[in-house]
Amino acid sequence: MSSPTLAERRERQLAHDRERSEHLAARAERPRRSPDELRALALQASTRFADGETDALLAWVAEEFGHLTAVACSMADAVLPHVLARHIPWVDTLFLETGYHFAETVGTRDAVESSMQLTIVDVMPRQSVAEQDAQYGERLFERDPALCCQLRKVEPLTETLGGYEAWITGVRRDDSPLRADTPFVTWDEKNGLVKINPLADWSFDQVLDYANEHDVILNPLLNDGYPSIGCAPCTRRVAPGEDPRAGRWAGLDKSECGLHT
């Protein structure tokens, strides 16, 4: 089978862009419910979906929240948005544009946006890297990584999540001991919305198997010793047998960026 011509690829991309634009134009908006209402929904769902059942859980998310749902994606892979897009086509997919990403991560983000039925929302810090350097000094990620994550990840995400009722994450129990008890549904007090972790009981191998079965885009760094991918200055390769997140903030007393704590 011959590869598509440049003209065919261009037309396919234009069709993809038209479909996304038409969907966004037709998307019905509705008022955001109160924190008390959302908290009650989270409590009910935490019992109802205590055993996971990914498809049933996401069908409930689609019916209950629709496009007041956001999915957070680090672009280590596109499995989570792919799973969710089957229930909510063109779901808003939040990408934290920290300014410190690997080139492979940015490339994955661009490939996902141009080929999948989702809507990338670039979540930007208030300051560029240069502006942050001017205020706090260069290489803040080395001197105070918690502050760097707060400025470039936590605060921008918190501001963005204010427009949604629920957010979906790819947190898995096998990521690290700190995540071993991750629930499928919980109330996110810090951000004031329902938090869903539909892949909580998936293993890393299950993620890769799903990607292979459904031809889902993977960040090439996954096959280069990086099972957990963050900002380039704060991420190293992981040796065989190490914890998957051992390469994040290696040598520092830090294993989480603050998004899920």
Q: Which residues are annotated binding-site positions?
A: 148-149, 231, 234
Token readout for 139 is 């290489």
Q: Of 257, 258, 259, 261, which residue is the catalytic one?
A: 257
Residues whose CB is less than 8 angstroms from the CB of residue 117 and which lie 6 or more positions away in sequence, other chains included? 19, 20, 85, 89, 90
3-state secondary structure the chain: CCCCCHHHHHHHHHHHHHHHHHHHHHCCCCCCCCHHHHHHHHHHHHHHCCCCCHHHHHHHHHHHHHHHEEEECCCCECHHHHHHHCCCCCEEEEEECCCCCCHHHHHHHHHHHHHCCEEEEEECCCCCHHHHHHHHCCCHHHHCHHHHHHHHHHHHHHHHHCCCCEEECCCCCCCCHHHCCCCCEEEECCCCEEEECCCCCCCHHHHHHHHHHHCCCECHHHHHCCCCCCCHHHECCCCCCCCCCCCECCCCCCCCCCCCC
CA distance 183 to 138: 38
Cα 152-122-87 angle, rounded to 5 deg: 125
Which positions make up the binding site for [4Fe-4S] cluster? 148-149, 231, 234
Rounded to whole angstroms, how far apart are CA atoms 129 and 115? Answer: 29
Can 257 be counted among the known catalytic residues? yes
Q: Which residues are catalytic?
A: 257
